[in-house]
Structure 1
Amino acid sequence: MESNEGEAQEKHVLLVPYPSQGHVNPILQFAKRLAFFGLKPTLAVTRFLLKTSPPEPGLVGIEPISDGFDEGGYAQAESIPAYLARFESVGPETLDAVVRSGKYKAVIYDAFLPWVLEVGKKYGLVTAAFFTQSCAVDAVLGHVYKGRVSLPWTEPELLLDGLPGLGPNDLPSFLSDPVDGPYPAYLQLVLNQFLGLEKADEVFINSVYELEPQEAEWMKKEWGAKTIGPTIPSKYLDNQIPGDTHYGFHLFAGADRCNEWLDAQPPRSVIYVSFGSMANLDHESMRELAKGLEITGKPFLWVVRASERGKLEENFNGEGKGRVCEWSEQLEVLGHGSVGCFVTHCGWNSTVEALAAGMAMVAVPQWTDQPMNGKYVEGVWGVGVRARKDENGVVRGEEIGRCVMEVMEEGDKSGEIWENASKWKRLSVEAMMEGGSSYNNILGFVEKYYGRVRV
């Protein structure tokens, strides 16, 4: 498997994710891919995450770094800007201690952490930025960064090179409403991804070229970016990496996997509902979602985090037709034969998982990149239906019910959605197989900087 055994040091690569569930998982999976190609990857994870949710990384090593909040992590900070400022102050010093060992030839850093680039350059490392969102979202943000879009955008349609026409409700929420609540800090965070990007040796995006060809080409033209996704466990994709059956890192893991309940349901009969690890629906939206599930009369599996459970009516279970749990192994659920619809907030990781599983979706986007992902689910990939908000900004139960029935009831529309879902599943698998677009991009990186380390 190894060709240059006397140069073992030359195979080490360091990967630095932003410390949240949706960023650690894709970068950890990319690290496993690099191990498959013969490298020796190490993940640099904050001390708080290692203390609260120790990962099971398999072939990937672990190094601790600090975000300045070792006891409480993000929750310990007084504000979003305070957290990011402290991380940028403390992080480079602790990362410097890791890199100073001289073991690493390259560092791959989450684009949310542009200061890692400077640490890598200081020690002469190959540097590669890793974008965890879609090519489309990255392209829009790139246009904003270059000053080509005035904010807030309120015009009926936004036309940009490399992208389809976009309405205000299709854009990342930071762009149509950049001044309220936490948005200014988050907007700055996502735009800072492009700081110093021209100095990076490589730019990677967690997407599949065939999913977003024009968007990927624009990112390639502007930043030299390459797609390397989907970054999900091999078991649920190409099955080439032995033992790669789960992410190995869960902030909200629990014991209730609901498998026995799913096994007892008819094929394609269950509505699976999950809004990820960060989305927080208000009480009214939770009640409307519950109402929508009851309207369908179908069995459902609804993942509601413990912190959100109080927003549901006591003992809500859809009159015996459904099940509410605090956690599920989402990839197992999406691949289960009884599931016939995924009601999702359209976080990029969840969207990629559904595409790779060939699962039809009802898109109920909340904020950040989710509105744009929802636009693509319905209007570009044709793998689902996007629920519309009313004049008060709430998705009503009747709308949820309508969308679910459109996806799950037999008919021309449902048939087209499932046919498209099957196509994107096939293309996602092919991208990771030998000769596929993502396979070639990962192999190209390995061979360019490390030589042929795998035979």
Structure 2
Amino acid sequence: MATRAHCLVLAYPSQGHINPILQFSKLLQQQGVRITLVTTRFYYNNLKTMHPSIAVETISDGFDNGGPKEAGGFKAYLARFWQVGPLTFSELLEKLDGSKHVDCVVYDTFFNWAPEVAKRFGIVVAAYLTQNMVVNSIYYHVHLGKLQVPLKEHEFSLPAMPKLYLEDMPSFFFVEDFTYLDFLVSQFSSIDKADWILCNTFYELDKEIADWIVKVWPQFKTIGPNIPSFFLDKQRKDDQDYGVTEFKIEECMEWLDDKPKGSVVYVSFGSLASFGEEQMEEVACCLRECSSYFLWVVRASEETKLPKDFEKKTEKGLVVTWCSQLKVLAHEAVGCFVTHCGWNSTLETLCLGVPTVAIPYWSDQSINAKLLSEVWKVGTRALVDEKKVVQRETLQHCINEIMDGSKEMKNNAIRWRTSAVRAVAEGGSSYENIKEFVNNLSHS
């Protein structure tokens, strides 16, 4: 590139959104693009670390001191953010116009107002989808009016997708207040204004729907999996974490080092899922009674839900408030991942070849659980009872199915890991799409 293109990357202020879009930013950097990450003032002020090579600018969500909690609810937060955000983003673009001229805005599609603001400054725009294409397609069909809310059918046949049943659909279809659903659907209200539409998946994983969607959006490209590259190709030792975190503590790697290969069940339900005390007790009792070792991540805010007699550190098990999930999944001692099936966790377990037990909690996680268990066949889904609780016996059966057998799941997990590595290797589908994006960017 004769001159370094400058990309402004507008990230939605939550860990699950910032991690992948920041990783994509690092890939652009490696291709010679200059990156400035943009997030809210509140989120930035509460970070413990930030990737040293990434410049940062901030906008306001209207709650600079307290963030979403200050708003008192998602609807109030969104209303204020969508009023203040476009104004402060516009002020930022005006400030940067000149010596730090912006060539492109890569925006999280949750910010449906971003394309209009960027286009006013004559800046080209790339939409970045953080969820997988099955989930995106569901919300897109609601946007088109082809999927009616509230849902009245029990099964759904959408183009280029597996047959879906009512229990597979995102949780936001089944609540009285459709604020979250409307918000997720609204990301497609302005997506046609984007010059590129990028998705954090890889072609081999979503080929049928990717082939269908490119007929609708010719500017669509798969550019994932956006996880730290060391865990894919082992080449860049300096790229072993996302580079932005709200946490610093890690205490489990030495504990794992002492355990035999494939002997540990890793349990983590992400940064937002909040199970009830009964479900936490069933998980705890299962792990205590299970024959395998276990490593369980329980956020500090959730620790009070553990049974009072449950020991957090024994020879058999360790409970921590946080860990580097990628490093844990990459450790040879880990043989199974009990997960809530957030998309980032789903991609990570696929990329590292670890079979899964799915316990979805909300949002898109039921879809991801279906894909893991029925389509990609790398795990099993733990079924809930009439109280929506996974009983200890059910969970133990699922864990044993993976730890004590199921060569098919383990072989499939290895196969998908190989596909993920190939996608980002030189000549791979995602590698070539990123390269094409950067080449077009330098000439735009």
TM-score relative to the length of structure 2: 0.96
State the secondary structure of the residue aligned to 1:288: helix
2:65 maps to 1:67? no
Q: What are the superposed Cα offsets for residues 183-225 of structure 1, whole Å, 9 maximum, x if unpaired?
A: x111011101101111111111110110011122232222332
Q: Is the aligned partner of 1:265 residue 2:259?
A: yes
Picking from 17, 29, 37, the partner of 1:35 is: 29
Match of 1:16 among 10, 15, 28: 10
Q: Which residue of 1 aligns with 2:38?
A: 44
- C-alpha distance in structure 1 between counterparts of 2:176 and 2:393, whole Å: 31
Q: 1:247 aligns with which of 242, 245, 248?
A: 242
- Distance (whole Å) between structure 1 residues aligned to residue 201 and residue 194 of structure 2: 19
Distance of 1:238 and 1:120 partners within structure 2: 35
2:368 to 370, 373, 379: 373
Indicate the RMSD between aligned Cα atoms, in angstroms.
1.5
The equivalent residue for 2:113 is 115
Q: Among 30, 52, 57, which residue is 2:51 paired with?
A: 57
Query: Which position in structure 2 is the counterpart of 1:349?
Result: 344
Q: Does 1:179 align with 2:176?
A: yes
Give the deviation of 1:276 after TM superposition.
Answer: 0.5
Counterpart of 2:399?
404
| TM-score, normalisation: structure 1 | 0.93
**SS of corresponding position for 2:53:** coil
Confirm or deny: 8 A CA contact 1:342 1:359 kept in the other structure: yes
State the match for 1:91 in structure 2. 85
Q: Which amino acid is the alignment partner of residue 390 of structure 1?
A: D
Q: Secondary structure of 1:405's match?
A: helix
Give the direction of change, closer, same or farther, for the CA distance of 1:310–1:266 in structure 2 (3 Å limit): same
CA distance in 1, matches of 2:284, 2:92: 48
> Is the 8 Å Cα contact of residues 199 and 221 (structure 2) preserved in structure 1?
yes
Give 3-state SS (helix, strand or coil) of 1:63's partner.
strand
- Partner residue of 1:305 out of 299, 306, 309: 299
Quick check: 1:15–1:109 contact (8 Å CA) kept in 2? yes
> What's the secondary structure of 2:126's corresponding residue?
strand
Over 3 Å counting, the alpha-carbon distance change for 1:209 and 1:90 in structure 2 is same
Work out which of the residue numbers 71, 75, 79 in structure 2 matches 1:81.
75
Question: Which residue of 1 is the match for residue 383 of structure 2?
Answer: 388
Give 2:127's aligned residue.
Answer: 129
1:332, 1:49 → 2: CA distance? 25
**Would the aligned equivalents of 2:268 and 2:339 in 1 still touch at CA under 8 Å?**
yes
- Residue identity in the other structure for 2:58: P
- Cα distance in 2 for partners of 1:354, 1:393 equals 25
Contact 1:254 1:326 in 2 (8 A): no
Structure 2: which amino acid aligns with 1:260?
A: E
CA distance in 1, matches of 2:91, 2:237: 33
> Is residue 150 of structure 2 the alignment partner of residue 152 of structure 1?
yes
Q: Does residue 337 of the first structure (1) align with residue 337 of the second (2)?
A: no
Residue in structure 1 matched with residue 409 of structure 2 by the alignment = 417
Show the counterpart of 2:277. Answer: 283
1:200 aligned to 2:194? yes
CA contact (8 A) 2:423 2:431 kept: yes
CA–CA distance in 2 between the matches of 1:400 and 1:75? 34
Partners of 2:152 and 2:308 lie apart in 1 by 40
Q: 1:122 to 1:242 in 2, by over 3 A?
A: farther
Q: Which residue of 2 aligns with 1:219?
A: 213
| Alpha carbons 2:50, 2:245 under 8 Å: kept | no
SS at match of 2:430: helix
**Aligned counterparts of 2:154 and 2:45: Cα–Cα separation in 1:** 48
CA contact (8 A) 1:257 1:329 kept: no
Deviates more, 1:424-433 or 1:147-156: 147-156
Flag structure 2 segments of 5+ consecutive residues without an equivalent: none
Q: Indicate conservation of the 8 Å contact 1:197/1:223, yes or no.
A: no
- Shift in CA distance, 154/309, structure 1 to aligned 2, threshold 3 Å: farther
One-letter code of the match for 1:131?
L
State the AA in 2 paired with 1:161. P
Higher mean C-alpha deviation, range 433-442 or range 46-55: 46-55
For residue 432 of structure 2, the aligned residue among 429, 433, 440 is 440
State the 1:254 CA deviation. Answer: 3.8
- Equivalent pairs counted in the alignment come to 438
The answer as to whether partners of 1:178 and 1:187 remain within 8 angstroms in 2 is no
Is 1:139–1:162's contact at 8 Å kept on the other side of the alignment? no
Please give the alpha-carbon distance, in whole angstroms, between the structure 2 residues aligned to 1:60 and 1:394. 43
After superposing the two structures, state which structure 1 stretch, 42-51 or 302-311, moved more: 42-51
SS of residue in 2 equivalent to 1:204: strand
Q: Which whole-Å CA distance do the structure 1 matches of 2:155 and 2:191 have between them?
A: 29
Distance 1:376 1:317 in 2: 34
**Percent of aligned positions with the same letter in both sequences?**
45
- Cα deviation per residue 1:356-401 (whole Å; 9 max; x = unaligned)? 0011100000110000000000000010001111122111111110
